[in-house]
Structure 1
Amino acid sequence: MKLLEIVTLTALYGAATAARTGDDRDLKTDVWAKTLNRRQTTWSPPSELVTPLQEVWDHVSTTYNNGDLLGFTNYGYDILMASNGTLNFCVRWDSDASVTEADRTAIESSLKANVRKWTDQLTGFMGWPFGEVPVSVVGWAVKDKAQLQGSVSGVDVHTTADSAGTPECDPACGRFFHQDNDYSACAGGAARHYDMSLWLTAGMEGGAGGDWGQRVGSEYFLGALDSPHIWLHEFGHTLALDDFYDWTPTGITNFIMNAGSSTTITDFDIWMMRDFWRHIASRFSVRKLKARAIGKFD
């Protein structure tokens, strides 16, 4: 299936319609067996990446959103622009196990560090308006509040469930459900909204990702906090990057978005992300957003 084929995600979010990001083969165990600091300000990929990058762009331009790539408006870049360069996560704890306060702190710290492995590589690039992307966990969804050991001060606890009975963060507070940024029905208002979910499922192998968030195994994520390579791949889908199960671009075989071929984000992954940004940046008022990011606008 293609990255942005429109589907109904009844199993994920009730009857909500979403853009499908990623391939179901991400869910298979057998495809999964350094942070880069190479910031750029202009479109100047290494010569050996020029042709494969063009091949990727040509491919997604014809396959995303039924050939209307720019008609879809909830890519990760859209989410970050709407939130003025911050990311609020809500964790869906899809498990019967309890989770300690220390583990919850570690999960938030992991998200902070691993989001930056992607977004730091946009800093200063072709009008990207944010110097950094602050990350917070603002909520947890659980079957029973008693599963959350220790203090839950400062965190919203959700006990709502989706149509399959799986713990779900309150849709009234979710960006996926309110792309008009109207959080008036959210108990905590806009300040307590979440931009995406981290869905941690007991026993899950593989992953899934899209504009709604990322889903991986709870045991896996807690065991790979420093560098959760499956989650890094799934967050790449949130940033609109495709899967490569059925083809690979000329001369490129090992990169995080080619599931199972790399456990780290590579130069090619970063240049694909930059390529996507440069093609959609014109739809944002980047100058105004950049001023807000440095405190010149209310």
Structure 2
Amino acid sequence: MRTRCARLGAVLAAVVALIAAPAVTAAPAQAAEQWNPPTNLVQPLGEVWNHVESTYPDLYGFRNYGWDQVMANKGSVNYCVRWESDAPVSAALRDQIHAALKKQFGKWMAAMVKSNGAGHNAWPYTNVPVNIVGWAVKNRSTLQWTDNSVDIYSGVLDSEDAPQCAPDCGRFFHQDGNYSKCPGGAARHYDQSLWLTKGFQGGAGGDWGQRVGQEYFTSALGQENIHIYLHEVGHTFGLDDFYDWTPTGQCCFLMKAGSAAQITEFDKWMFRDFWRHLKSRYGL
């Protein structure tokens, strides 16, 4: 009888302790991943990502995609304009180039914003400002303005004798974010370069920025889509070329050079898919 009473007392004591204990709130379940491409794009998107995973040598280890740059800056990107040309640049032309650069870069960033104004799949920025912080030129006299709206690097040349902004200020050269030797400090660093080369045909792009012909870019300033530049920005954010294969059901899209002159729905979803596979590195 004493044993039964003792056991009953222990049970009652445990119940009282449980009632008296402070409530513990369970961690909320994470929202389901926001991945809902159109049905007809599911297969080709899967093919693209399988190809990326099998061909990129350091896909997940590489830390200087355009995504990394925007996230490091907390939602913006800084540019240097490399003017590899002897064509004079007026203040008006400079401002037109700046405006076109901001507009075109913004087209890719707009792909990450849903129709309700929210970022797609935890993308944290609905607007990504583009700051042009410097111009690089061989001869200062080529730039026909005297204001100090941008830093000017005259006679700073790379190994191929092309003008460049100071390497001490470039993220490509300082991926650790240490800009202590940059004359203007971190605020005047540049993440990418818009490299405009006289007589250059086609384009090139990577984590360092984009290179296109000087004549091509300046003649396209009034166009809605400067498509070679847009294609190269796709590379900056990790998107691949499609020279030797085409995903199922897709014929014409920007990253398949020469088949489209604007960012298509398929390009947008490839862009979003790259973010989907990288966002965990930012805790998202």
TM-score normalised according to structure 2 size: 0.84
The answer for the alignment partner of 1:236 in structure 2 is 234
- Tell whether 2:88 aligns with 1:91: no
The answer for the alignment partner of 1:178 in structure 2 is 174
Deviations, residues 171-197 of structure 1 (Å, cap 9, x unaligned): 000011111110000000001001100
- Tell whether 2:68 aligns with 1:78: yes
Moved more, 190-199 or 146-155: 146-155
1:48-197 maps to which residues of 2 (within 5 A)?
48-64=40-56, 66=57, 68-123=58-113, 124-159=119-154, 160-197=156-193
Deviations, residues 240-296 of structure 1 (Å, cap 9, x unaligned): 00000010101101000000000010000000000000111001034xxxxxxxxxx
* Amino acid corresponding to residue 113 of structure 1 in structure 2: K
SS of the aligned residue for 1:230 comes to helix
Moved more, 212-221 or 97-106: 97-106
The share of aligned pairs that are identical, in percent, is 58
Root mean square deviation, CA, Å: 1.1
Tell which structure's C-alpha radius of gyration is larger: 2
- The 1:271/1:137 distance shift into structure 2, 3 A limit, reads same
The answer for the alignment partner of 1:258 in structure 2 is 256
Separation in 1 of the partners of 2:123 and 2:86? 41
Separation in 2 of the partners of 1:176 and 1:198? 13
TM-score normalised according to structure 1 size: 0.80
Structure 2 unaligned regions, length at least 5: 1-32, 114-118
The count of residues paired between Structure 1 and Structure 2 equals 244
The answer for the alignment partner of 2:21 in structure 1 is none
Extract structure 1 runs of 4+ deviating beyond 4 A: none
Separation in 1 of the partners of 2:209 and 2:129? 16
- Tell whether 2:219 aligns with 1:223: yes
- Give how far 1:136 is off: 1.6
SS of the aligned residue for 2:157 comes to coil
Decide which of 191, 194, 198 is 1:198's aligned counterpart: 194
The answer for the alignment partner of 1:246 in structure 2 is 244
SS of the aligned residue for 1:175 comes to coil
Separation in 1 of the partners of 2:146 and 2:74? 29
SS of the aligned residue for 2:134 comes to strand
